[in-house]
Chains A and B, each alone.
Chain A
Amino acid sequence: MTEITAFWIAIYIAMLAAFTGYVVISRIPAILHTPLMSGSNFIHGIVLVGAMVALGLANTPTEQVIGFMAVVLGAANVTGGYVVTERILQMFDRSGKKPGKGA
């Protein structure tokens, strides 16, 4: 596949993804807005993968320094986003149907 083809395929995919994001959110009740914002904050932590590739392909010291910072920030986004979301959602357990049961 040439670069341009891959590009256009990516555009198609992006369009479908936009609809997916829209549909998933439109069904969410108001009480879940906070956990959801936090959850989507975690999901864009996938930026870590891109930062890894960027650092992995870096040649000059400048690129390495910037890439290194990007990986640090991306990793913080991932773990912080996960823990915050998990802690918010934990609170829904107690009011759930199965009190006392973890996870």
Chain B
Amino acid sequence: MADFSFAIEPVYIATIFFFIVGLQRMSNPLTARSGIVWAGAAMLIATLVTFFTPNLTNIGLIAIAIVIGGGFGYISAKRVAMTNMPQMVAFFNGMGGGAAAGISAVVLLGPTTPTSSLAVVGGLIGAVSFSGSLIAFLKLQGWMPSRPVTFTGQQIVNMAVLVLAIVSGVFVILQPSSRLLSVNASLPLFFILALGFGLLMTLPIGGADMPVVISMYNAFTGLAVALDGFSFVTPNYAMIIAGVIVGAAGSLLTLKMAKAMNRSLTNVFFGAFGATEEQAAHVSGSVKAIEADDVAVMLAYADRVIIVPGYGMAVAQAQQKVKELTDVLERRGVRVKFAIHPVAGRMPGHMNVLLAEAGVAYDHLFDRDEVNPEFPSTDIVLVIGANDVVNPAAHRKGSPLFGMPILDVEQAKNVIVLKRGQGRGFAGIENDLFYRDNTRMLYGDAQETVGKLVQALKKL
């Protein structure tokens, strides 16, 4: 093979340039799509030029591994439904974390260098991101209960595992001559403990906090990649820069999301501890159901309607029908707005993406702060598959949701809640809203129910 190793650094520089341009373009809805194409092209050339790394062996194995991993990633990402995208981000983020942990392992199996400690830290963070992301994926996918998993002494166990992981990491670096503590013993132990810590750290986190957690693990993986970039004998600047950019950007994004939910990171990670099951006695009144035809009549003669979409809309794939409903209502002169809670769905912006897909114009979408003052003057609020983000329990001290900024839909004249069944929200907390006098429940699959509303409205 011709020697193109001289091209490696120039190509990496170009890669970083296009990564940054790509991210920049992703910051504007109009250019966002081209942003990923730029970044993708950069990744492709970086991968190709890496084959010319001096003294590279196992080239056949590398090619096979790329085909297997790349094929798997491509096919699974193509096949998954749009509603499951959030957990796919978690899934592929876990893959990246695992790769970073693997690199650390290979580096640490070799001779000790001045940067071995960075490989240990990178391996720790990468392994935590790997197992943590996979738990987040399993919870969101519903292959594992999404409610917090807690047991007594959990925090102590978690801390102990982390401390032991760090201690074994120190042994990996020092490589004492004793056979018991040799790198062959301490390295597997180190990774098992690190993976265990990621698992233990994610188990007590409830489903509602998952977006924040995924974003944090995303930043973790970035950081692990950067540390691995340092740990090679010749630093890999492409990994360092791309990793640090993702680490910094991901951290900021995590904080922004946590802020949107009025949750501190401590709260997210340790909130499950000591949270006691609420007494049902707090909730008074009864749940009152309503039929689609009656709702259609109410909507037809309303003046202002606000639609609050949630994860239920995504699950039922109801966004197209919701768009139709909006059109029918607007033709009748009803003013329709959408109230988007920052964490509605499973990720920030989840609802915006789905509604954009259905063709709802951006100027119909309003975020919490914009729309909250309007609820008292709203005739009907249609809550479509949202639960925790409209739960007035957030205003009551003692509720696990206390302090989370919500959409104050209960102030509207009428609230119609479209819901599949009588289950609780993702946070597993009873919703006071359903018991209010001005609330009516419209049970059924959201897509079907909204379809019925559209039909009924067309006949009126």
Contact = CB atoms under 8 A, between A and B. Distances in A.
Which of A17, A40, A52 gathers the greatest number of chain B CB atoms within 10 Å? Answer: A40
B141 interface: no
A10 B230 contact: yes
B170 interface: no
A49 B239 contact: yes
Which of A22, A30, A60 gathers the greatest number of chain B CB atoms within 10 Å? Answer: A30
Interface string A60-103: 10111011111111111111111111111111111111000001
23 contacts: A17-B248, A20-B20, A20-B245, A21-B252, A30-B349, A37-B253, A40-B250, A43-B19, A43-B39, A44-B93, A44-B218, A46-B43, A47-B224, A48-B47, A49-B47, A57-B110, A68-B61, A68-B64, A69-B102, A70-B106, A79-B70, A88-B85, A96-B30
Given A76-B70, A83-B73, A47 B225 contact: yes
B245 A50 contact: no
A37 B356 contact: no
Contacts of A30: 342, 348-349, 352, 367
A64 B37 CA distance: 32
Contact of A64 (B55, B58, B98, B245): B58
B239 A26 contact: no
B59 interface: yes
Contact of A82 (B36, B66, B256): B36
Contact of B95 (A26, A39, A73): A73
Interface of B is mostly: helix
Interface of B: 15, 19-20, 22-24, 26-30, 32-37, 39-40, 43, 46-47, 50-51, 53, 55-59, 61-62, 64-74, 76-78, 80, 82, 85-86, 88-89, 91-93, 95-96, 98-103, 105-107, 109-110, 113-115, 214-215, 218, 221-222, 224-226, 228-230, 232-250, 252-253, 256-257, 342, 347-350, 352-354, 356-357, 359-362, 365, 367
A18 B247 contact: yes
User: 6 shortest A-B CB distances, which residue pairs?
Assistant: A70-B102, A75-B69, A21-B248, A80-B73, A83-B77, A71-B65
A49 to B, nearest CB: 5
Given A50-B103, A74-B99, A44 B225 contact: yes
Contact of B228 (A50, A78, A97): A50
B245 to A, nearest CB: 4
B73 A79 contact: yes
Contacts of A68: 61, 64-65
A94 B65 contact: no
Given A32-B29, A80-B74, A96-B29, A39 B23 contact: yes
Contacts of B67: 75
A93 B356 CA distance: 9
Nearest to B68: A72
A19 B249 CA distance: 9
A50 B96 CA distance: 11
Contacts of B20: 20, 24
B77 A79 contact: yes
A42 B39 contact: yes
A6 to B, nearest CB: 5
B27 A28 contact: yes
A72 B69 contact: yes
Contacts, number: 389
A26 B249 CA distance: 8
Contacts of A97: 30
Nearest to A51: B99
Which of A43, A89, A103 gathers the greatest number of chain B CB atoms within 10 Å? Answer: A43
Given A53-B56, A74-B96, 5 more contacts: A25-B249, A31-B349, A42-B39, A51-B102, A57-B110
A94 B27 CA distance: 17
A84 B27 contact: no
B114 A40 contact: no
Nearest to A71: B65
Contacts of B250: 21, 37, 40
A95 B356 CA distance: 6
Contacts of B32: 32, 35, 89, 92
B109 A46 contact: no
Contacts of A88: 85, 353
A27 B27 contact: yes
A91 B92 contact: no
Contact of A66 (B22, B27, B29, B102): B102
